[in-house]
Amino acid sequence: MGANGVCPLETTLKVEIITVGNEIISGSILDTNFRFIARKLSSIGADVLWHTSVGDDPETMSEALKLALRRADAVIVTGGIGPTPDDITRKVVSTVLARALLLNDDVLEAIKNRFKLRGLSMPGINERQALFPKGSEIIENKVGLAPGFLIRENGKLLFVLPGVPVEAEVMVEQSVLPRLAAAGSLRVTEQLLFRTTGIPESVIAENVASLEEPLEGVTVAYLPHEYGVDLSLHFRGADPKQVVPLKRAVQERLRKMLGQYCYAEVEKRLEEVVGEMLVARGLTLAIAESVTGGTVAGLVTSVPGASRYFMLGVTAYSNEAKMSVLRVPEILLLEKGAVSAEVALEMAKGVRERGLCDVGLATTGIAGPDGGSAEKPVGLVYIAVVSASASNVKELRLGGNRALIIRRASAAALDLVRRTLLSQEGES
């Protein structure tokens, strides 16, 4: 405690975010406000330590607010400041901080005007959106009706914002971030990201553990996602002269260690990376799918502008389709089976010719739950890439349920295109 009862902020600003609403706590809607705010705060070096969600219940909410004001330097509440009876946030704040709710005439006037502009008169219940706990600083809402507010209490900051994501987001960027930055207690933060596929999390962790650089004060996170594992490092410290060289050294070392397993060092999806590589080389792609059932084509076409390089996709689920559309020889299907390296290669070749494309990609395998055998179990997948100069095929043994096998096979297929393009680069 400071001389006059004010807690000095610590070198890092500790933040708690509280999201309020029955629709959130019951799982009816996905809470996106928390992530948006946390990401923005992390980017300016604040430490988001707690996130709490509660329903529209005064008792639970009071408890959550009291706890947050005790343990955090700044608290951001979203939700519960609308006009309906279930919107209780301003009342709870008023009670917990023992500050009376006062009517703000300017805000009331502005709300009335918003209705007037739409040719309506303001319903009585909207008046409460002009009520604020005594001593509040009004935070303008440029998108919706209800302004937010900021209360400074014992050196701590309490922000209250609307729950509607687009409103909360604008207010965070325009009002909350500048006020937190002005609190002047944020650390310099550098960040590294390595998006990898095809390498187990534990192997990445062993690589990181073998680094000679000192990683005290560096947060290392392994983020598994559907297509691989992201390695994320946050470097913190007051002095850029120390942090920046450390970051560069670690970056260089990890680049070498991860090699081709890393497909991006920015927030970019594998299919975007493959698309950019195709555009850069002026190449076109055709895709033949069996086990992945259209998922690879769906990923490729999820990227804006995919029509510049993607021409044709064929999901050949039946053997007839493999023969008639992709021209896979019947004898191969009979002798090797549809799930085989040979058929994968023929599918890639066939779709490449059909689509008049530079690169042909194919997948075949068993996604389950049925259809497996001792010799060819569920999870057995072959992927193949054929281009003018290359002909690559790969056998995979994937774990997981049907959905996961399909996703993992799709990622591996895209990655084989990436690696084929990279190796052709090496040749020329």
Contacts (CB under 8 A) with a second copy, residues 43-102:
48-57, 60, 64, 67, 82-86
In the complex, least distance from residue 209 CB atom to a second copy, rounded to whole angstroms:
8
In the complex, least distance from residue 253 CB atom to a second copy, rounded to whole angstroms:
18
Pick one of 1, 4, 105, 123: the residue that binds a second copy (CB under 8 A).
Answer: 123
Burial of 26 per CB tally in 10 Å (0-12, 13-18, 19+): exposed
The verdict on 141 binding a second copy (CB under 8 A) reads: no
The verdict on 313 binding a second copy (CB under 8 A) reads: yes
Instruction: Between 320 and 335, name the residue whose CB sits nearer to a second copy.
Output: 320
Contact (Cβ atoms closer than 8 angstroms) between residue 157 and residue 180: yes
Q: Which stretch binds a second copy (CB under 8 A): 95-103, 114-122, 237-245, 339-347?
A: 114-122
Pick one of 6, 7, 11, 32: the residue that binds a second copy (CB under 8 A).
Answer: 32
Q: Which of residues 163-192 bind a second copy (CB under 8 A)?
A: 164, 166, 170
Instruction: Between 158 and 233, name the residue whose CB sits nearer to a second copy.
Output: 233
C-alpha Rg value of the chain to the nearest Å? 28
Calpha distance 179→74 (Å, rounded): 11
**Buried/exposed code over 182-221 (b: 16+ C-beta within 10 A; e: otherwise):** eeebbbebbebbbbbbbbeeeebeebbeeeeeeeeebebe
Pick one of 212, 370, 375, 427: the residue that binds a second copy (CB under 8 A).
Answer: 370
Q: Which stretch binds a second copy (CB under 8 A): 89-97, 150-158, 173-181, 403-411?
A: 403-411
Both structure tokens of 336? 């090797």
In the complex, least distance from residue 180 CB atom to a second copy, rounded to whole angstroms:
15
Contact (Cβ atoms closer than 8 angstroms) between residue 271 and residue 309: no
Taking residues 316 to 335 in sequence order and writing x for each that binds a second copy by CB under 8 A, - otherwise, the string is: xxx-xx--xx----------
Nearest CA among 292, 290, 294 for reference residue 302: 294
Nearest CA among 257, 331, 387, 407 for reference residue 396: 407
Taking residues 268 to 297 in sequence order and writing x for each that binds a second copy by CB under 8 A, - otherwise, the string is: -------------------x-x--xxxxxx
Q: Which stretch binds a second copy (CB under 8 A): 94-102, 342-350, 363-371, 411-419?
A: 363-371
The verdict on 31 binding a second copy (CB under 8 A) reads: yes
Calpha distance 99→268 (Å, rounded): 47
Nearest CA among 66, 82, 93 for reference residue 159: 93
